Structures are given as structure tokens and as C-alpha cells.
């Protein structure tokens, strides 16, 4: 058996670094014009800093795959061709492509770069894999509609082609993400397959009868609500053994628009779970499943992977937005400080016991919190909260930069994160 790659999303440069530190072997990233995710927060990855992002990943020991997976119109092709010099110069390890026109450009300008065929290509069988292999692709990212047994058969039939499968994250209700709902519901302003999906599958719907305008009726699948298109999130951590045995080369996590905490916590969990099951095929996966309950989710499902069709309980009727079992409290800003009372200032000092943080949710002095780092997870208590003016506080408010002391501090504080203890 080969040990599969853990492939994590890199929505911006900060998330790229955290994904790799928390265990990713590779990251996938995109620039706005040619990717299926339009990013809005953080240090966005653009054509101008793409090379730096990829070099950063390489220095940290990870591969980078550039997503060029839009369905391209003529104007997109022209724009891409005018951008190819920067893409070539950035030297990604592979290009993720669904459009054959973009593939033709990639082979023209980057003939020695690996090509991964996107899940948008709806690859469901071994003949389709052979077709893309004949076209020069080195990896097929299989459709999420495939059961594990079919994946195993594809690997058996085409053993020299890399296979990538999604193992975790949000799912489209459409077939492998080829959706027109967003285009239609926003009058063409938010095109799903051009990176700007408005996620109408998460909206709550009512029914109107045309002879009774203004009279709305609930559409009820059951007593919980009307999110009739909203699927639960995929989670296959309990089935890693079967997926490794099927010969999958890369395990992919969805989530370029997810939070820094989400990317870090999910990467850490799957890194540890993959290592555990690879070393011991009968390892207990339940602790890892419980860890994944602490990050945002709409409830979890195994999707089509068990081969029984899509499960009836695989839809999230009651919620449309992912809810986390633990609240993300703060991000450590990577330095230690001492407080100099003579000048009423915090001074950077590697021996200091104060840690500068950026809060994400409120927490109290003397509250128990859980720290996670790439190598650690433990519960500690907040003993002091001090603002930048040197004032002692009882409460850390959202989006403040503060200094804290803890009963036990993280060793790898540069990449430490804190959350509430347990699962809500």
C-alpha cells in the first residue's frame, strides 16, 4: 500500500502556511479569474504573488497545485493566454483543469507540468480515466458520486494513473459541481462555474401557486425545515482504511473559503488519522471523527462512497450554514513578550510568559480553553488578559489584539490556536 497524500485548500497565503504546518503534503490554490472559488479575505493569492506562494509551500516541504478549472469562454482563454508568463514563472507542481481548451494552452506553454483533471470533468469510469491519460493528464480527480468499490476497480484497471478523491467538506447538490442554479437565481451575476457561487442550495425555499400570488407555503421534507437542496458535509475519516486499500493516491479536503481554524484543525485531524490507520489498519477512527465535530459542519454524511446511493439522511434540512462544535477563540501571533512596568509596554522577549493573540470569539479570565498546535493538543487556563495599554481585563472581546498568560503554554506558539473545551 502507498501512503496517500493529504491535500488541503489554500484560500490565501496565511491559510497555505497553516495547512502545511498542520500536516498537508500538498495544497491547491487559485487566482480569482481562473478558479472556482472567489476569495475575499486575508492576503489573497494573485498572479503577482502566486510565485511567492508556491515557493513558500515548496520551502515548507509541500507541493502546490494551481486550479485553472473554470469552464472557459473566449474572453477567459484570451485572459489566460495573456497571463501564462506569470503562471509559467510560478512553477506549480501541477495544474488542475476541467476545460479541454485550457488543457491545450497548458500543454502548449507548460508541457512538462503535471495535469490533474478536475472533478468538474465528472470522471466516473476507467475508460474516462484512460481517455484523460491519453490526453496527457497524470491524475484524475474522481467525481464524488463514485462508491469506493468503483474507485478500487478504476485503480486496478489503470494502475499507472494517479487518483484523487474528496474525503471531507461541503458538497454541491449538483452532479460534481456542474451547477446552473446560482447563475439563474442571481440573473447571471453570480456564476457558479466561474468562481462566484451564491450557494442557492443552502437557501430556504417556499412554494407559491401562480393563481394565488403572495401566498407562500412551506416546502417540508420533514418537520425540521425547508432546506430541501442542502446536503450534509462529506466526512470519510471512518473509512480511511477502505480508501487506502482502494489505491487512492491523494485525499482531498474541500474548503478554500473556510476559516484558518477550520483548515488547521481538519488538516491536523486527517494527518494524524491517515498516519494512524496506515501504521495500524485496525486503528480506532472514532476519536478523529469526534475531533471533526469541533469544526464547522452541516452534519456529516458518507455521500455516495459506501455504494448504496445517496443516503436519505444525507441532507441538512434544519441548517444551511455550518455550525462548529467548538468556538474558535483566538490565534496566537507568534511571539512572546515580557511586560516592562517602568515604561508600561510589552517588550518582545523569547523568555517572556505573555503571548500576543488576536481574538475571534469572547472568552473570560480563568476560563479553561483548548490549545491546538501542529504537534500538541491540551487544555489550559487563561490566568491574565491584558490590553496593549497594560490594563488588566476580565473579558477578551472579539477582534481585539491582547496579551495573555496561561497555566500551560504551547511549545509551537507561532502556529497555536485556541478553542472552547469539548463539543457543544
Residue ranges covered by each domain of the chain: 5-179+230-301, 328-419
How many CB atoms neighbour CB 202 within 10 A?
A: 18
For 79-201, strand residue ranges (E) read 94-97, 114-117, 139-141, 162-169
Class of domain 5-179+230-301: alpha beta
Quote the pLDDT of residue 174. 64
Find the angle CA(231)-CA(282)-CA(244) to the nearest 5 degrees: 55
H-helix or E-strand spanning residue 66: strand 63-68
The predicted pLDDT at position 295 comes to: 96
Q: Give the span between the Cα atoms of 245 and 84, in whole angstroms.
A: 39
Q: What is the pLDDT of residue 161?
A: 98
Q: For residue 250, what is the enclosing H or E element?
A: strand 250-253
Cβ 195 vs Cβ 36: under 8 Å: yes
Between 100-109 and 74-90, two packed helices, what is the crossing angle to 10 degrees? 40
State the fold for domain 328-419: Elongation Factor Tu (Ef-tu); domain 3 (2.40.30)
The pTM of this model reads 0.88
Which residue, 267, 29, 67, 98, is CA-closest to 168? 267
**Looking at residue 225, what is its pLDDT?**
47
Q: Give residue 293's region: left, alpha or beta (phi > 0; psi -120 to 50).
A: alpha
pLDDT in tens, the chain (424 residues): 789 999 999 999 999 999 999 999 999 999 877 765 555 556 789 999 999 999 999 999 999 999 998 889 999 999 999 999 999 999 999 999 999 999 999 999 999 999 999 998 999 999 999 999 999 999 999 998 899 999 999 999 999 999 999 999 887 766 566 565 666 567 767 766 666 777 777 677 666 777 778 776 655 555 444 555 677 889 999 999 999 999 999 999 998 888 999 999 999 999 999 999 999 999 999 999 999 999 999 889 998 899 877 777 776 666 666 789 999 999 999 999 999 888 889 999 998 999 999 999 999 999 999 999 999 999 999 999 999 888 999 999 999 999 999 999 999 999 999 999 999 8
Whether the CB-CB separation of 142 and 176 falls below 8 Å is answered with no
* DSSP state at residue 123: -
Q: How far is CA 106 from the centre of its chain?
A: 25
Amino acid at each position: 500500500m502507498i501512503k496517500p497524500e493529504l491535500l488541503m485548500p489554500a484560500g490565501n497565503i496565511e491559510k497555505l502556511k497553516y495547512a502545511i504546518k498542520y500536516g498537508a503534503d500538498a495544497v491547491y490554490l487559485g487566482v480569482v479569474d481562473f478558479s472556482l472559488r472567489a476569495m475575499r479575505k486575508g492576503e489573497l493569492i494573485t498572479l503577482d504573488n502566486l510565485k511567492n506562494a508556491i515557493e513558500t509551500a515548496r520551502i515548507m516541504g509541500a507541493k502546490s497545485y494551481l486550479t485553472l478549472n473554470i469552464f472557459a469562454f473566449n474572453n477567459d482563454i484570451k485572459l489566460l493566454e495573456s497571463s501564462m508568463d506569470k503562471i509559467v514563472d510560478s512553477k506549480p507542481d501541477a495544474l488542475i483543469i476541467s476545460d479541454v481548451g485550457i488543457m491545450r494552452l497548458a500543454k502548449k506553454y507548460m508541457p512538462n507540468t503535471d495535469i490533474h483533471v478536475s472533478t468538474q470533468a465528472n470522471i466516473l469510469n476507467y475508460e474516462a480515466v484512460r481517455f484523460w491519460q491519453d490526453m496527457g493528464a497524470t491524475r484524475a480527480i474522481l467525481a464524488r458520486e463514485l462508491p469506493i468499490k468503483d474507485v478500487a476497480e478504476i485503480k486496478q484497471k489503470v494502475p499507472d494513473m494517479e487518483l484523487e478523491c474528496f474525503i471531507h467538506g461541503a458538497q454541491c447538490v449538483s452532479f460534481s459541481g456542474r451547477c446552473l442554479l446560482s447563475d439563474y437565481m442571481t440573473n447571471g451575476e453570480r456564476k457558479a462555474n466561474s468562481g462566484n457561487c451564491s450557494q442557492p442550495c443552502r437557501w430556504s425555499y417556499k412554494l407559491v401557486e401562480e393563481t394565488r400570488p403572495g401566498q407562500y407555503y412551506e416546502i417540508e421534507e420533514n418537520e425540521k425545515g425547508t432546506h430541501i437542496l442542502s446536503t450534509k458535509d462529506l466526512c470519510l475519516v471512518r473509512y480511511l482504511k477502505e480508501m487506502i486499500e482502494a489505491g487512492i493516491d491523494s485525499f482531498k479536503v474541500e474548503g478554500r473559503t473556510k476559516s484558518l481554524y477550520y483548515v488547521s484543525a481538519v488538516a491536523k485531524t486527517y494527518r494524524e488519522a491517515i498516519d494512524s490507520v496506515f501504521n495500524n489498519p485496525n486503528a480506532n477512527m472514532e476519536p478523529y471523527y469526534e475531533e471533526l465535530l469541533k469544526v464547522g459542519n452541516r452534519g456529516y454524511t458518507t455521500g455516495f462512497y459506501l455504494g448504496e446511493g445517496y443516503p436519505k439522511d444525507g441532507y441538512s434540512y434544519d441548517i444551511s450554514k455550518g455550525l462548529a462544535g467548538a468556538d474558535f477563540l483566538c490565534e496566537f501571533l507568534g511571539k512572546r513578550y515580557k511586560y516592562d512596568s517602568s515604561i508600561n509596554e510589552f517588550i518582545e522577549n523569547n523568555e517572556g510568559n505573555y503571548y500576543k493573540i488576536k481574538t475571534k470569539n469572547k472568552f473570560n479570565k480563568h476560563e479553561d480553553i483548548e490549545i491546538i498546535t501542529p504537534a500538541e493538543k491540551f487544555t489550559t487556563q487563561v490566568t491574565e488578559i491584558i490590553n496593549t495599554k497594560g490594563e488588566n481585563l476580565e473579558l477578551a472581546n472579539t477582534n481585539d489584539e491582547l496579551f495573555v498568560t496561561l497555566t500551560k503554554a504551547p511549545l509551537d506558539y507561532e502556529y497555536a490556536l485556541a478553542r472552547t473545551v469539548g463539543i457543544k
